[in-house]
C-alpha cells in the first residue's frame, strides 16, 4: 500500500514538474518574441524644411523613383528598388506617400533606411513632405530582388571571394521563382 502511495506521489510530482517546465519554456518564447518585435516605424511623416512652393516645381513618381534609386540597404548594398522594398508611390500636393516593406519585421537597419530615404527625397525642393507606411502583406522575399541586381551581387561575390554585402546571404538565381523578371509593381515604370 505504501509503495502505491509513493508511486502516485512521484507521478504527481513528475506531472507538476513537466507542467512548470512547459510554462517556463512558453515564458521564454514569449519573452524572446517581445525582444524580437520590431519598433513601430510605420506611419512615419516628415516635413521638408527645404520645400520651396514658390518654385512652382511639381514632384512626379519618376522623380521620386530616381531619388530613391540612390538609397542602398546598408547591409546588402542594393538599392531599395533593386530589393523590391517599394510597393507603391503616390504623390499628392507634393507630399510623397510610400507603401513599402522591409526584408524582415525586426530589421536592425530600418531606422537608417527610412532616414536615408527621407534625406534622398528632401534633396529636392519640390518635395513638401514624406509619409511612409510599412506593410508585411505581402512579406518581402528573395523573389522581389531585381534579377539583374541579384546576378550582379552573385558575380561580385564570386569574383571577390567574398560578398560586398558584409557577409550577408547572397541568394542564388535558382532561389527565385520569378518567371521572366521582377515582381516589383514599379519595375515597369523605370
User: Residue 124's CB: how many other CB atoms inside 10 A?
Assistant: 21
H or E element that contains 46:
strand 44-47
Sign of the four-CA dihedral 131, 72, 144, 104: negative
The secondary structure element, H or E, covering residue 88 is strand 86-92
Residue range 67-95: average pLDDT? 93
How far is the C-alpha of 2 from the C-alpha of 19, rounded, in Å? 26
Are residues 149 and 89 located together in one domain of the fold? yes
Do 87 and 17 have their domain in common? no
Residue 39 lies in a domain: no
Please check whether residue 38 lies inside any domain of the structure.
Answer: no
Q: For residue range 17-44, what is the model confidence (pLDDT) as tens digits?
A: 554 444 445 444 444 443 343 444 567 8
Q: Show the domain range for 100.
A: 44-189
For residue 55, name the pLDDT band (cuts at 50, 70, 90): confident
Highest mean pLDDT among 16-25, 38-47, 170-179, 181-190: 38-47
Do 20 and 108 have their domain in common?
no
Q: Could you tell me if 128 and 50 are in contact, meaning their C-beta atoms sit under 8 angstroms apart?
A: no
The winner for highest mean pLDDT among 24-28, 94-98, 148-152, 163-167 is 94-98
Domain total in the chain: 2
In a domain, 37, yes or no: no
Whether residues 16 and 92 share a domain: the answer is no
Q: Do 85 and 123 reside in the same domain of the chain? A: yes
Amino acid at each position: 500500500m505504501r509503495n502505491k502511495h509513493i508511486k502516485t506521489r512521484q507521478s504527481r510530482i513528475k506531472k507538476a514538474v513537466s507542467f512548470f517546465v512547459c510554462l517556463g519554456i512558453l515564458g521564454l518564447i514569449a519573452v524572446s518574441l517581445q525582444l524580437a518585435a520590431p519598433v513601430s516605424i510605420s506611419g512615419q511623416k516628415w516635413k521638408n524644411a527645404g520645400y520651396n512652393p514658390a518654385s512652382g516645381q511639381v514632384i512626379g513618381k519618376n522623380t521620386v523613383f530616381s531619388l530613391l534609386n540612390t538609397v542602398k540597404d546598408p547591409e546588402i548594398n542594393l538599392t531599395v528598388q533593386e530589393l523590391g522594398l517599394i510597393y507603391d508611390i503616390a504623390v499628392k500636393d507634393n507630399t510623397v506617400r510610400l507603401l513599402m516593406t522591409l526584408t524582415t519585421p525586426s530589421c536592425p537597419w530600418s531606422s537608417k533606411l527610412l532616414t536615408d530615404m527621407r534625406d534622398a527625397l528632401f534633396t529636392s525642393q519640390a518635395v513638401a513632405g514624406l509619409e511612409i507606411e510599412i506593410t508585411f502583406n505581402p512579406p518581402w522575399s528573395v523573389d522581389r530582388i531585381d534579377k539583374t541586381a541579384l546576378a550582379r551581387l552573385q558575380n561580385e561575390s564570386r569574383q571577390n571571394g567574398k560578398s560586398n554585402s558584409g557577409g550577408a546571404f547572397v541568394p542564388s538565381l535558382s532561389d527565385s521563382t520569378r518567371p521572366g523578371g521582377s515582381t516589383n509593381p514599379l519595375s515597369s515604370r523605370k
